[in-house]
Amino acid sequence: MSDVDFGMLTEAARQAMRHAYAPYSRFPVGAAALTAQGLLITGCNVENASYGLGQCAENTLVGQLQLAGGGEIAAFTCVNAAGETIMPCGRCRQLLNEFASADFQILTPEGVTDMAGILPQAFGPQDLEEVSS
């Protein structure tokens, strides 16, 4: 997936951000991704009254991925309320790692990079030993 239209992906993230539920932090976030199969999926953050207990935009995005039948994320970006590209938090970087394709690309504030650029020495499903019953 070398020719990702990150402009289109960023606009989809901005549209998703407009649906965020962030009355406590007042920090709405939108996320958008293209799957390895070419499907566009989006997500937004959802908070609740227990401070610090909210779902990041990446959580709802991965939920959409699973609802669409699963697969891998090939390209990703997320934005803040101003529509500016932001980095996913550490927990979300790990979540993205779980679902990233081998050629995963992410648009960051510093430009496009791969999973190793945002999560060096990541531990993921590929590192788990298969246990047979």
Asked whether the predicted pLDDT for residue 22 surpasses 70, the reply is yes
In a domain, 132, yes or no: no
Asked whether the predicted pLDDT for residue 85 surpasses 90, the reply is yes
What's the pTM?
Answer: 0.88
In a domain, 54, yes or no: yes
Asked whether the predicted pLDDT for residue 127 surpasses 80, the reply is no
In this predicted model, which residue has the larger pLDDT, 1 or 25? 25
Within 10 angstroms of residue 99's Cβ, the number of other Cβ atoms is 22
In a domain, 70, yes or no: yes
84 part of the active site? no
Q: Which of 11, 47, 58, 130 is catalytic?
A: 58
Q: Which domain holds residue 94?
A: 6-127
In this predicted model, which residue has the larger pLDDT, 50 or 92? 92
Query: Count of domains in the chain?
Result: 1
CATH code at 116? Answer: 3.40.140.10
In a domain, 85, yes or no: yes
Q: What is the mean pLDDT of the chain?
A: 90
In this predicted model, which residue has the larger pLDDT, 104 or 128? 104
Which of 60, 66, 109, 76 minimizes the C-alpha distance to 1? 76
Which of 88, 42, 85, 39 minimizes the C-alpha distance to 62? 42
Distance between CA atoms of residues 64 and 76, nearest Å: 14
In a domain, 62, yes or no: yes
In a domain, 118, yes or no: yes
In a domain, 133, yes or no: no
In a domain, 1, yes or no: no
pLDDT at 6 (0 to 100) = 97
